[in-house]
A and B are shown apart, each in its own frame.
Chain A
Amino acid sequence: DAGVTQSPTHLIKTRGQQVTLRCSPKSGHDTVSWYQQALGQGPQFIFQYYEEEERQRGNFPDRFSGHQFPNYSSELNVNALLLGDSALYLCASSLQAIQETQYFGPGTRLLVL
């Protein structure tokens, strides 16, 4: 049983560019949450997707957007990249009914130059 997978593992972009990160949830899970973990910090909640809709959102600007596909996989898009967007982006999957049990992927490390 594959766990949560994310791609790519590493990414380098320049300021002003756009980036798309991808996440495949654990088999059977229907809910995907995204977190940003800056260096030396705890993860911060970006948003959550269920039934292809954004259900909850953290304190992140509109430059951060997402999508969930019918197969429950998800994308995180960040437009107009800033240096401060450099971070580890973590995807977590769960069942909508049991959101207290979230499984995290290994993350995508984004560096913005």
Chain B
Amino acid sequence: AQSVTQLGSHVSVSEGALVLLRCNYSSSVPPYLFWYVQYPNQGLQLLLKYTTGATLVKGINGFEAEFKKSETSFHLTKPSAHMSDAAEYFCAVSAQAGGTSYGKLTFGQGTILTVHP
């Protein structure tokens, strides 16, 4: 079984400030981890993913995340927030390739990011 907990349903930052969105996961099998972004009235867009290898993953729009197995965390960061980053962000987990839940994404509840001028 897999689950995701996103700490903080709302995060507010000033433009130019650090963005930190927290994600902890639970998985009985080695996981793949994902961050998706959702703009109002749109579908989900993949920001970045961890599969295997390097634990620091870089994604689009300047975002990055670090897989920490010992902490079961996959927090999303961006050094400097832009107004265009305002959206809802979802962390997700799946089993690795070959696992029984491979391809089935389990999402967290989401974190709404607000960016103030």
Chain A residues engaging chain B, CB cutoff 8 angstroms? 4, 31, 33, 35, 40-45, 48, 55-56, 58, 90, 92, 94, 99-107
Contacts and interface: CB of A to CB of B under 8 A. Distances in A.
10 interchain residue pairs of minimum CB distance: A99-B103, A42-B107, A104-B43, A104-B44, A106-B43, A45-B104, A43-B107, A100-B32, A42-B109, A42-B110
Interface residues of B, number: 26
Given A44-B107, A56-B104, A100 B97 contact: yes
Given A56-B104, A100-B51, A41 B110 contact: yes
B114 interface: no
A90 B41 CA distance: 12
Given A45-B104, A100-B94, A106 B42 contact: yes
A105 B43 contact: yes
B43 A4 contact: yes
A90 B109 contact: no
Interface string B78-117: 0000000000001010100100011111111110000000
B45 interface: yes
